[in-house]
Amino acid sequence: MKKQPLWTKNFLGISFISLFLFLVFYILLTTLPIYVLDELHGNETQVGLIVAVFLIAAVLCRPFTGKWIDAIGRKKILLSSVIIFTIASLLYVWTDSIPLLLGLRFLHGIGFGMATTATGAIIADIVPNERKGEGLGYYALFMNLAMVIGPFAGLTIIQISSFNRLFILCTVLAFFALVLSFIVRIPEASIPEEKVHSTFSIGSFFEKNAISVSIVGGILALAYSGILSFISIYAKELGLFKAASFFFVVYAIAIVISRPFTGRWFDLYGENKIVYPSIILFAIGMVLLSQANSTFLFLFSAAIIGLGYGSLSPSLQTVAIKNSSPSKRGLATSTFFTFFDSGIGIGSYALGVIAVYMDLSTLYLILAVVVLLALLAYYFLHGKKSNNQNMLHTEADISL
């Protein structure tokens, strides 16, 4: 059978919308702490609040967005969320106090949480069923590229120019996402009438079939938050601060090299063949990072973590979507990212508290154990069942 096309105009449109959204996210993530300290004369606690408020807003709105996407429509939610995101990006130009910035970060987090939930649900509809792993893997690659380009661009601009010009750049990038949101054609799922008018309940904001792998994703995100929060501090402690800026570059290169293969293998051989080795590689990468005493080992750990963790997020998201009915893909996407964002947020705070009582080398070694616990969680929550299903399919094929 001829393969269904993957790189369509709609696929590229949604992928570039995601790229622009995450570029703004990562630009501000790395530069706002400096803005708070140098321009607004805030302190480290307020820097933490600026990051936390954004994530809290994103987490709070995701379950509602998943419900609205399936009830109101993907296009309407995407447009409204990117409009909120674009307006919020522009308002940074006039934000000159900590209270105003906190309020703006909450609004921006709402727009980001809604928009990324919408793009995740839309891409799940656009990608052909037989190429889900491959398609969502390439879609995640755009987010990975933003993670490398965003911090580099943001830090470079504030060194050679001003924060106002940085905020204008963020507004332009958000505007590009808005223009594409109007242009891209989005397939709308047909939602039964009773679903639209369903009664309010906690269960109606989460897709039950996506919860098991979402829990695993949350545990892995918690471990990964240790890298996001402390990698630059750790590199400074090791006397490798210059190498810190290259950590995510090497991480992204490893993802780019592996993505064409892992996505296809996912579709051909099933999720277990990708998830198990990826978790093990992630754990090995964390162990190597904890023992890093040279630039080579520090960056080599980044490559191993990229090969491992870089494959896990799109793979688990694909499982969450495949386990759910087409009419609940929006809810499945929001469920996955709610657990994922919660893992990042809880991990960033909790590990910050723990790091006071131990060195970061020990912390990364403990996080390697956490990753292996995620391996057990995956086995009992999903992997064992998936393996049994594959064995049944194989036996059925043999009998035929």
* CB 89 within 8 Å of CB 174: yes
Query: How many percent of the chain have pLDDT more than 90?
Result: 33
Q: Which tokens go with 231?
A: 């990698």
Per-domain boundaries in the chain: 7-186, 206-400
Q: Render pLDDT for 303-317 as a digit per residue (tens, 0 to 9).
A: 999 999 988 888 888
Cα 300 to chain center, whole Å? Answer: 23
In 3D, which of 184, 311, 212, 204 has the Cα closest to residue 252?
A: 311
SS3 state at 109? helix
In 3D, which of 397, 13, 363 has the Cα closest to residue 179?
A: 13
CATH number of 206-400: 1.20.1250.20
Q: Render pLDDT for 19-29 as a digit per residue (tens, 0 to 9).
A: 999 999 988 88
96 exposure class (CB count in 10 Å sphere: 0-12, 13-18, 19+): exposed
- DSSP designation for 12: H
Residue 328 to residue 140: CA distance in whole angstroms: 20
pTM of this prediction exceeds 0.85: no
Q: What is the pLDDT of residue 347?
A: 82
- DSSP designation for 48: H
pLDDT of 199 strictly over 70: no
Give the mean model confidence (pLDDT) for residues 207-227: 89
Q: Which tokens go with 398?
A: 């043999």
pLDDT of 220 strictly over 80: yes
In 3D, which of 134, 167, 187 has the Cα closest to residue 318?
A: 134
Q: CATH assignment of 7-186, given 3.40.190.10, 3.40.1410.10, 1.10.1060.10, 1.20.1250.20?
A: 1.20.1250.20
Could you give the C-alpha distances from 26 to 23, 69, 238, 294, 361, in angstroms and in order? 5, 25, 25, 27, 25
Give the mean model confidence (pLDDT) for residues 261-272: 82
Average pLDDT of every residue of the chain: 83
- Do 7-186 and 206-400 fold alike per CATH? yes
Residue 302 to residue 16: CA distance in whole angstroms: 25
Residue 122 to residue 139: CA distance in whole angstroms: 11
Q: What is the pLDDT of residue 105?
A: 93
CA angle 76, 142, 152 (to 5 degrees): 115
Q: Render pLDDT for 322-352 as a digit per residue (tens, 0 to 9).
A: 887 776 777 887 888 888 888 887 887 788 7
Strand residues in the chain grouped as ranges (E) = none
Determine the residue type at 171.
T
Q: Which tokens go with 282?
A: 């992630």
Cα 224 to chain center, whole Å? Answer: 11
- DSSP designation for 205: G
Confidence of residue 90 (pLDDT cuts 50, 70, 90): very high
Q: Scanning the structure block, which residue is given the tokens 């950590």? A: 247
pLDDT of 195 strictly over 60: no
Per-residue HEC secondary structure of 322-371 comes to HCCCHHHHHHHHHHHHHHHHHHHHHHHHHHHHHHCCCCHHHHHHHHHHHH
Could you give the C-alpha distances from 73 to 2, 24, 76, 136, in angstroms and in order? 31, 25, 6, 21
